[in-house]
């Protein structure tokens, strides 16, 4: 289940299994329009005017210093751009990444054709559900192929919880060091029409999280050695 909840795998799978459809949608959504073409021409003309207005000759010592500084700035900018730019974000001038729209479009077509191809609709349905989206809106999104239905999301939440419980059991039985976090949760349930048999209520629960601790010597668990110091 944890491997399925990775949208990057979905993009690579669509690109490999449907290269023609992926390329067609990429051309349709990422090709520069007339405004972008004209803007690029204006930027190129402005860059040519700026380069023509720069001084042609400089001193040799200044040239060496400026070359060294320019190389430093260039390397720093490339490194910063590589860290801040996503791997698939190679479309200049777009306020939104076209790859996201391509993935959603292919996912909608595949989900309408076969309900078993519901990886992205599962992720979106889970996000919509935990964000407070109503059941009617989820049904509408499910009919358009964007999301799964609300009952499918509830089954997914149960499956994720069972997977998390099993992971916690495996971590405790593995002998690896871990820490335990407890968190009290108080949820107020307000009834729209209160009666004597249907009043407002509270849910008081305790959430437990087990976090594996790596890179620590096992001798740190020896309490008797610490007390005898």
Enumerate the domain spans of the chain: 1-50+73-176
Six token digits for residue 30: 């990422």
Mean pLDDT for all residues in the chain: 77
Q: How confident is the model at residue 73 (pLDDT cuts 50, 70, 90)?
A: very low
Length of the chain: 229
- Decide if 164 contacts 137 (C-beta within 8 A): no
Six token digits for residue 99: 């790859």
Among the residue ranges 24-33, 55-64, 99-108, the one predicted with the least confidence is: 55-64
Q: What is the pLDDT of residue 4?
A: 60
This model's pTM is above 0.75: no
Q: What is the pLDDT of residue 41?
A: 81
Q: Which helix (DSSP H) or strand (DSSP E) does residue 9 occupy?
A: helix 7-17
* Residue 208, CA distances (Å) to 2, 34, 158 in order: 19, 56, 16
Six token digits for residue 202: 């509270």
Q: Is the dihedral of CA 58, 60, 64, 65 positive or negative?
A: negative
Six token digits for residue 179: 């820490």
Q: If you average pLDDT over residues 131-158, what whole number do you get?
A: 89
d(C-alpha 197, C-alpha 88), whole Å: 57
Q: What is the pLDDT of residue 170?
A: 92
């Amino acid at each position: 289940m944890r491997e399925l909840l990775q949208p990057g795998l979905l993009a690579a799978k669509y690109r490999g299994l449907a290269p023609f459809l992926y390329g067609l949608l990429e051309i349709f959504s990422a090709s520069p329009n007339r405004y972008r073409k004209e803007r690029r021409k204006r930027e190129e003309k402005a860059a040519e005017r700026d380069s023509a207005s720069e001084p042609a000759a400089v001193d040799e010592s200044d040239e060496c210093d400026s070359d060294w500084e320019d190389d430093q700035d260039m390397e720093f900018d490339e490194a910063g751009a590589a860290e801040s730019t996503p791997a698939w974000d190679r479309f200049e001038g777009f306020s939104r990444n076209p790859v996201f729209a391509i993935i959603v479009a292919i996912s909608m077509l595949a989900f309408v054709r076969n309900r078993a191809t519901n990886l992205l609709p599962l992720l979106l349905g889970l996000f919509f559900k935990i964000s407070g989206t109503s059941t009617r809106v989820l049904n509408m999104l499910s009919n358009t192929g964007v999301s799964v239905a609300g009952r499918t999301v509830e089954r997914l939440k149960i499956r994720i919880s069972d997977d998390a419980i099993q992971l916690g059991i495996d971590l405790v039985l593995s002998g690896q060091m871990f820490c335990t976090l407890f968190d009290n949760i108080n949820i107020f349930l307000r009834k729209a029409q209160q009666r004597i048999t249907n009043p407002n209520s509270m849910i008081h629960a305790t959430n437990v999280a087990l976090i594996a601790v790596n890179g620590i010597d096992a001798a740190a668990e020896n309490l008797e050695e610490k007390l005898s110091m």
